[in-house]
Structure 1
Amino acid sequence: MTRILPRILHVLDHSLPVHSGYTFRTRAIMHAQAASGLDVAGITGLRHPEPGPREEEVDGLAFHRTNGVAKGPPGLREWREIGALARAIERVARDLKPDVLHAHSPALNGLAAIRAGRSLGIPVVYEIRAFWEDAAVENGTGRDQSLKYRLTRELENRAVAGVDAVFTICKGLREDLVARGHNGGKIGIMPNGVDLALFGEAAPRDDALAQELGLGEGPVIAFIGSFYPYEGIDDLIAAMPALVNAHPEAKLLLVGGGQEEAALKAQAAASTASDSIVFTGRVPHGEVPRYYALADIMAYPRKASRLTELVTPLKPLEAMAQDKLVAASDIGGHRELMTDGETGVLFAPDDPAALAASLAALIDRKDSWPAIRAAAKRHVAERHDWARNSQRYQDVYQALLAPGPNSGVASAAA
């Protein structure tokens, strides 16, 4: 007999205790599901980078590991990865007896879950957070339309075709899959969300920290995250001379690090606004709210590309939940999250002059800030609260487990 509340095994690339946007979304999903009464656990593949026991509990969540190393030339190595993870899923399933396998991108996880699901006789859900071939291009680890790019795309297509139901994190990804010829009837959307238990209350401003960083009275424009090329932090730095000319006390606070850090620091040092640009380096995850509290405006100047047009980021939603004004480039991933002039401000991408003008105009309209912040926080609570949105998963699980054809899977996730 099927349980009223199904047991779910999440199939993951990596998980806590590693800190990344991927693991934070997973944590939020699993916590929300557990709070709703579901029995949940996770299993990671061979790419989980943190050494540890085969089974461990992190932040109240149970994770199982796939041990070993996949060797061989490209293609064969990935095939062996899929096999190792599929066998590990079957091993764990003998004890947990899950009702549904819920795999999360990349496609290797989806294909392993398909193999295990067929052996176990249970349905498989596959969730796509980004197209990894596009992410590789933007991160500089891949080339557009290369053999690796096309093979990764084909693996994604096979995973989508082989599972019982698909989730994407946004409309852009779903529309791209439908354009490829995939059945839109089994593709639902689970938007990025915020755990309001963690991000629902803004921390008080730490004046001592502001003084230590030399921020003065501001206004403070901040970026908190990883320094990837597609984030457009170079455009933010390039915008600062014009912004400081309009608002001499303005400061730019850059919190984080990554592959562009050295180049960005060199660019800032050569800028006529160098005294107004502050780098903190990476900070512990638990300290991040202290830095959010220093910002008046959170800026997200992502560059226009296939990745950023299709994929919605998480950071702007966290900033809205923290009562921060959000200024973001006018790309598809941002337009899906916010409305210009209502819940934030959008500016032309890849254009430092437009960015500076938009920030200056927003600073000039301080009387509008409370209304924008309030509308943004309402938007997050109504559309992007994990405690509410996680019900969409359960609706799809129940549709898959119900007797008869599963024709209403996507509508259950709408």
Structure 2
Amino acid sequence: MRNRMRVWYLSAYDQPGGQSTRTHDYSRELVRRGHEVTMFTNGFCHFTHTERLGADERWRVEMVDGIRVVWLKTRPYNGNGAGRGLNMLDNVRRILQASKVLGDKPDVILGPSVPTLTGWAAARLAQRYRVPFIFEVRDVWPDALVDIGGLSKRSPVYHVFRYLEKMLYRKAERISSTLPHLSEHVAASGNDPAKIVCIPNGVDLTPYTRDAAYDGGEGRQLVVMYVGGFGLDHDVPTIIRAAKLLQDAGDKTFRFIVIGGGVRKAEAEEQVRSYKLRNLELREPIPKSRIPETQRGADILVAAITDSRSYRFGLNLNKLCAYFASARPVLFSGNPPNDPVRDSGAGVSVAAEDPAAMVAGFKELAAMGPARRIEMGERGRMYAQTTLSMEALGARMENMLASAIEEYKARS
């Protein structure tokens, strides 16, 4: 066992038991491995717009799953306007304030690329305590905002964020990336790609129990299920168009269940109404704790992304981790430089934003028969166990942190 490390892990949007849980998942795994972890996160939920803290609380410290969680009071907001920007500033201010009253010193600090200001706060604390800073890159801000049309490269905001991004690459002892094709961008930013350690999103397999009774969808209508976001890069509209093509052709092989929420949900609802779809049901988002049980009701799980430049650094979708864990075949629609579905043999991949190609993919899976669909699902499950399990990835995270601490001390 490695020496006990005191890890501070900063976030704005990840919450224990929330919709986005990477920070909590890795914190819990590090605690299981014998380390002390402090997780900073907002009390206001980015996804549900609910507030955990009282009106008079600036922060709250409590133990969750063995993790010391510091809940931060930040102002509420909707959308991606000025309110969200002020919330990011609140997050930084509260982190710097709350950290002073904890009464101890970390050995290493991790901070995210989204929001970049939270990453800056992590680097600032690392400088204060003279410990290594780990920059965790999940999305490449600000370029990702430009790719989805949320920001112009001519904007002063872009140049501020780009300056911060380059500075954080430079200050980082390690760059922990969920994106497998980040090296060229880091080099183009004037920094050393040798700092990069690829640690993808993972999955806790414990709640994804084996479904021995699953028959592969034999002799009945196949349930195609989507569970995830309705963001700008999530291509739910193509799933809906594929359902329309099948309905127009009189093909009743498939029944669609689409679960989730986000900025494109209203567009999806209007699409379903205008198409008068009878083979597709839209449902509200569900807690992460209900995903394993819900996905047991699927015969095919579908993931679709737009043909966006934001995926040029690689694909690392949380939903694919959960899909593989559910041991169901996956249909993936997208054009990223990497394809976990193809790599794992867990399903069928088709081009992005092409409903006819998606329909062909569904028909290919249907024609395989139950036994082959079960086999594909099992391949995905095995891929999750060997490549994406928190146990395997937790060891990689632990090794990265320990080596960063050792090298930092050797230079000091």
TM bracket (short chain) = 0.7 to 0.9
Gap runs ≥5 in structure 1: 206-215, 408-414
Q: Aligned to 1:330, which of 328, 334, 357?
A: 334
* Equivalent pairs, count: 389
Q: Aligned to 2:101, which of 91, 96, 99?
A: 91
Compute the TM-score of the two structures, normalised by the length of structure 1. Answer: 0.83
Cα distance in 1 for partners of 2:151, 2:388 equals 32
Aligned match of 2:121: 112
Structure 1 letter corresponding to 2:11 = L
Cα distance in 1 for partners of 2:85, 2:246 equals 50
Aligned match of 1:412: none
Aligned-residue Cα RMSD (Å) equals: 3.2
Does structure 1 conserve the Cα–Cα contact (< 8 Å) formed by 2:332 and 2:349? Answer: yes
Cα distance in 1 for partners of 2:88, 2:259 equals 35
Cα distance in 2 for partners of 1:121, 1:86 equals 15
Structure 1 letter corresponding to 2:108 = V
Aligned match of 1:54: 60
Q: Percent identity?
A: 22
Q: Aligned to 1:315, which of 306, 311, 319?
A: 319
Aligned match of 2:13: 14
Q: Aligned to 1:125, which of 107, 129, 134?
A: 134
- Write out per-residue CA displacement over residues 70-93 of structure 1, whole angstroms, 9 at most, x where no aligned residue: 9x999999678645533433433x
Q: Map 1:195-344; keep pairs closer than 5 Å.
A: 195-202=204-211, 217-244=220-247, 245=249, 247-271=251-275, 274-310=277-313, 311-332=315-336, 335-339=338-342, 342-344=345-347
Cα distance in 2 for partners of 1:174, 1:46 equals 34
Cα distance in 1 for partners of 2:142, 2:294 equals 33
Cα distance in 1 for partners of 2:304, 2:207 equals 25
* Residue 35 of structure 2 corresponds to residue 38 of structure 1: yes
Cα distance in 2 for partners of 1:78, 1:68 equals 8
Give 1:46 shift: 8.6
Give 1:298 shift: 0.9
Gap runs ≥5 in structure 2: 54-58, 77-81
Does structure 1 conserve the Cα–Cα contact (< 8 Å) formed by 2:41 and 2:72? Answer: yes
- Write out per-residue CA displacement over residues 39-93 of structure 1, whole angstroms, 9 at most, x where no aligned residue: 11212369766332521233443211345669x999999678645533433433x
Cα distance in 2 for partners of 1:381, 1:301 equals 23
Does structure 2 conserve the Cα–Cα contact (< 8 Å) formed by 1:298 and 1:319? Answer: yes
Q: Aligned to 1:167, which of 167, 172, 176?
A: 176
SS, match of residue 142 in structure 2? helix
Change beyond 3 A, Cα 1:372–1:303 = same
Cα distance in 1 for partners of 2:43, 2:112 equals 14
Aligned match of 1:364: 367
Does structure 2 conserve the Cα–Cα contact (< 8 Å) formed by 1:90 and 1:120? Answer: no
Q: Aligned to 2:389, which of 376, 385, 388?
A: 385
Tell me whether 323-332 or 171-180 shows the greater mean CA deviation. Answer: 171-180
Does structure 1 conserve the Cα–Cα contact (< 8 Å) formed by 2:91 and 2:118? Answer: no
Aligned match of 1:213: none
Compute the TM-score of the two structures, normalised by the length of structure 2. Answer: 0.83
Does structure 2 conserve the Cα–Cα contact (< 8 Å) formed by 1:103 and 1:109? Answer: yes
Change beyond 3 A, Cα 1:135–1:204 = farther
* Residue 362 of structure 2 corresponds to residue 352 of structure 1: no
Looking at secondary structure, tell me which structure has more helix per residue. 1
Structure 1 letter corresponding to 2:245 = A
SS, match of residue 275 in structure 1? coil
Change beyond 3 A, Cα 1:116–1:46 = farther
